[in-house]
Amino acid sequence: MRYIVNSREMNLYDSRTIEEFHMPQAVLMERAALSFVETLRREKRNTSRTLVVCGSGNNGGDGYAIARMLMQAGNTVDVLEAPHTGKVSVGNQLQKKIFLAYGGKILTKFPEGKSYTLVIDAVFGVGLSRSVEGEYASLIDRMNAMEGAKTAVDIASGISADNGNVLGTAFRADLTVTFAFEKVGCLLWPGNQYAGKVVVADIGITPDAFGERKPAVAALEDADLSLLAARESHSNKGTFGRLLVIAGSPGMSGAAYLCAKAAYASGCGLVRIFTPEENRAILQTQLPEAVITAYSSKKAEAPLLSEAMSWADTIVCGPGIGTTDAAAGMVRTVIKNAAVPVLLDADALNVIAKDTNLLLLPHTELVVTPHLGEMSRLTGDSVAYLQNHLIEAADEFARQYNVICVLKDEHTATAIPYSQTWLNVSGNAGLATAGSGDVLSGIIGGLMAQGIRVEQAAPLGVYLHGKAGEAAGARRSMRGMTASDIHDGMCEILAGLEQTQSQPGKDGIS
């Protein structure tokens, strides 16, 4: 697990490191500059002719220190001081004085007509909260238009560290060296499009600075796959859980197939598909491993659904069921009567969008997995708003309805009510394909059925889904990836895990 911080958290941890651990700010700046220059060397960036643009805050102070070190290493370095009318930070003043003492020169006008191999942005940093306008906007636009590689100090100027929004205009980096911890704004769209490759550099601010205020957002890593314990040799299919998949409608058997097959790929022992009679023959042929319980497409008999629900350890409801009265009746029955964890996806969410108070009825753990369009229908917020407030929207929905909200986007946010929020960092563009969401629901549902705690199964399922997409993309290509390829990628990932697994895993999510 790794932590991802916003601007307020980073400023707090920086202050605590200085005040409580007695680390001088100048030492932190020196370490930041050293790690930045080392990253440039490691990334083989041409620093022979470098322009460093420095603001008036601590980010600019880092820039002066970087310029000095590059100059002392024999590079030709120009420093441009960004225009400012406000106060200059103490750290900035010190680093500027040191730079000048070593013979550095500071430009006060933009270097027209000069050619640089590298342009370094040290204008704003993570504390920016206002829109970039006027002289600053003009400066950043001119920096973007210059030839040479572009590197940002901590975060690209003009990008919100809290949500990745572009605050008016922003520097376009091909490399960002961020300090201590990843920033939310470097990962979320559109900020990630301005960050380029992101390298996290250690400067001496450690998790010791968290105190009782851990970062609100974290991301899973491969080490967290230890949640998937090695399978016991003395076991049977019932040992690994029973999942009921309520999915499909006439002409929409694919959603049920993909969801159920993914659940099996996740390790679930038994999968039962509750689907219209028209799908029985198709599913029995496509997935003979699944148990099929078929109902009349006009109305699902209540006793039949109740019996299927009582059989299950976990329920997935919604993929491809449609929004007919019969489908809506099934969704309401599941929400009101389920005694096991439930995952609601796709059409179940479209049904609920007409009356979101239904989400207040369950007496069991509930996971919802909307994409941005479905979330827009659930909340009334525009897709654009949700995309620009991904984490906040997921957190607010999770708390309002006491559900685990998996809000799907390029970097999916999984919000646990009044607890950790997980931002997914696995995956690729190939996952944007029909049926991908059905596969994700099956993976999460399968993990839940195996007894993994719901608050762990949801983010872990999202991470596995992304890793499966990476494996499928490497084997097949992202452009031609299908949902079935994601399933195959899942099998590859778990096969690799089993090869390295020598003992049962332990809980990797705190």
| Coil vs helix vs strand at 120 | strand
The pLDDT of residue 507 is 46
b/e sequence 46-78, b meaning 16+ C-beta within 10 Å: ebeebbbbbbbbbbbbbbbbbbbbbbeeebebb
Residues lower than pLDDT 70 in the chain: 234, 300, 502-510
CA distance to 193, 371, 375, 471, per residue, from 345 (Å):
29, 9, 11, 25
For residue 363, CA distances in Å to 68, 335, 360, 403, 413 come to 62, 8, 9, 11, 24
* Separation of alpha carbons 58 and 176, rounded Å: 16
Q: What is the pTM of this model?
A: 0.93
Give me the pLDDT at residue 506, please: 43
Interval 105-144: pLDDT, tens: 999 899 998 999 999 999 999 999 999 999 999 999 999 9
Binding-site positions for K(+) read: 59, 121, 157
Per the annotation, where are the binding residues? 58-62, 121, 125-131, 136, 154, 157, 255, 320, 371, 437-438
Return the H-helix or E-strand segment holding 273. strand 270-276
CA distance 355 to 331: 12
| Amino acid symbol at 54 | C
| Residues of the binding site for AMP | 437
Q: What is the dihedral of CA 493, 440, 369, 8, to 10 degrees?
A: 20
- Residue positions counted in the chain: 510
Find out whether 298 and 229 touch, Cβ atoms under 8 Å.
no
Q: Answer yes or no: CATH 3.40.1190.20 is held by domain 240-496.
A: yes
Return the pLDDT at 281. 96
Q: Please give the annotated binding residues for (6S)-NADPHX, written as ranges.
A: 58-62, 125-131, 136, 154, 255, 320, 371, 438
pLDDT score for 234: 67
pLDDT value of residue 502: 58
Of the CATH numbers 3.40.50.2300, 3.40.50.10260, 3.20.20.100, 3.30.70.60, which one belongs to the domain with range 2-217? 3.40.50.10260
Domain ranges of the chain: 2-217, 240-496
**Do 488 and 472 form a contact (C-beta atoms < 8 A)?**
yes
For the segment 400-453, what is each residue's pLDDT rounded down to a tens digit? 999 999 999 999 999 999 999 999 999 999 999 999 999 999 999 999 999 999
pLDDT score at 360 = 94
Query: Rounded to an integer, what distance in angstroms lies between the CA atom of residue 346 and that of residue 364?
Result: 20
Residue 439 tokens read as: 């596969």
